[in-house]
Structure 1
């Protein structure tokens, strides 16, 4: 009996700090968690044009012709990319550097004045008359076509998230019908999403993740300048952890309306978990066929081309909108 009591006391001594830390962490998470955002379950079955379209002859991605191409082929909405330029405005541009898509010397978009960004021409455009679209023109298009919008924020610096929030606050004021009712803001950066939801709780957000986000940055295969600490960690292991944390922790912290990932990283079980959590699951990386394993689940998708075929495939597997609850 003495030895039993001794070991009981020892176990209490060992595990008490762990239990206290776990309780403190739970309280902190509950305190930091934001209210649930707008419901996007009724987006199930929607097909989005990824950057409008990609790899389509005569169409440059993330331009007005690309967005029109997708909408005219049956897409329910478009996915666009925005980032901050050197003068603090949000510009519609995917890459951090201009040299991957545009003529002239490669420059960092974050260092360029707004007017210089708008004067860029694309290397794939033979007319040299095509320039990055104005964000307000894209929002006007969504308003006139009454289409949905996935607005991906390409911003990876937590310390300047207030500039992104300021830009979004302005477009919420100018286009409340588009941003509040038909837009979900998505990003790989949870800090910027948290700042957006904390300042604009009426805006729907969705965290993005895949299995190569951190490793892509660390190994230089992504167009984001790597932070030094990424090069001394185990990026593949971090990517694995990020995926689990995003679904099981970040979505709750952000009050997310949507979880966003690549098709080959998801399962029907994950989609069912999102349904129980009243969240839509956005998948990218699709071709022309909607996966039958996701029949009847709250899933919306994007593709680069053949939007009409993917839309028909989504309808065939009965991936219809789920009434918001």
Structure 2
């Protein structure tokens, strides 16, 4: 079972920052999950919320700020500034780093609240620029975004993100739309849903797995991956089970 670091090593470091990604890589995890949005001037940036209020010392919406303005805010403010100044990274900065890493990147397209014009195309352009086509998975709660990405790049795996409790016939659904992966929330996930995915050859990557009971359960059900804030703990446990 693969372990993806949720927004990097977000359990210990400011989420969706290069620091969190670098620390995640040091754990030996298999991949990184991150989120992308567009700034006012059309730069693809790595940030989860549509506003910067929760994750930085600034305020306002990503869509209303230029990238130069966004870079002025400190994402480490949520950690009390103990790591110094940690900016919100551009997706291109991440790609430059990721091209030399043995990691799979799960890129969540954040078009569920604002449908950013051209976000899918701009993100794919950067993936191709840095030769990451075989090292990424696209996912989104807005399935029109991954349908669009399937049109643009049918060779790149896509995952249908579902909130709790997800779909009982997720395997059929993903197969119907040519999605290779199903990404359900761990709360409410059932063995029947996992088995339905198995029936159609769909991979199951579960979010956000942060406690041992959930980790043990999804491992027992044969899920393919977990997305966790604590990748080091998860990776060590999975390795112990695979010995």
Could you say whether these structures have the same fold, taking a TM-score greater than 0.5 normalized by the shorter chain as the test? yes
Aligned residues, how many?
238
> Quick one: structure 1 residues 157 and 200, their matched pair in 2 at CA, closer, same or farther if it must change by over 3 Å?
farther
Separation (CA, whole Å) in 2 of partners of 1:246 and 1:171: 34
TM-score by length of 1: 0.66
- The equivalent position to 2:95 in structure 1, one of 114, 120, 139, is 139
Unaligned runs of 5+ in 1: 1-44, 212-239, 321-325
Cα offset, 1:192, TM superposition:
1.1
Structure 2 counterpart SS, 1:208: strand
Unaligned segments of structure 2, at least 5 residues: none
Deviations 1:261-297 (A, max 9, x none): 1222222332222122111101112225332564372
In structure 1, the residue matched to 2:234 is: 310
Pick 1 or 2: higher relative contact order, CA cutoff 8 A, min separation 6: 1
**For the residues of structure 2 that align with 1:110 and 1:156, how far apart are their CA atoms?**
14
Q: Would the aligned equivalents of 1:80 and 1:92 in 2 still touch at CA under 8 Å?
A: yes
Structure 1 pair 157/304, CA: closer, same or farther in 2 (3 Å)? closer
Counterpart for residue 149 of structure 1: 105
The structure number with the bigger radius of gyration is: 1
Question: How far has the Cα of 1:247 moved from its partner?
Answer: 1.8
Q: Does 1:112 align with 2:59?
A: no
Structure holding more helix per residue: 1
2:207 aligned residue: 284
Q: Is contact 2:105–2:137 with CA below 8 Å preserved after alignment?
A: yes
Select which of 122, 138, 147 maps to 1:167: 122
Q: Which residue is 2:139 aligned to?
A: 186
Identify if the C-alpha distance between structure 1 residues 283 and 152 changes in structure 2 by more than 3 Å, giving closer, same or farther: same
Tell me the SS of whatever aligns to 2:208: strand
- What secondary structure sits across from 1:131 in the alignment? coil
What is the RMSD computed on CA atoms of the aligned residues?
Answer: 2.5
- Displacement of 1:316 in angstroms is 4.1
Q: Which residue of 2 aligns with 1:272?
A: 195
TM-score normalised to structure 2 length: 0.86
Deviation at 1:121, TM superposition (A): 1.8
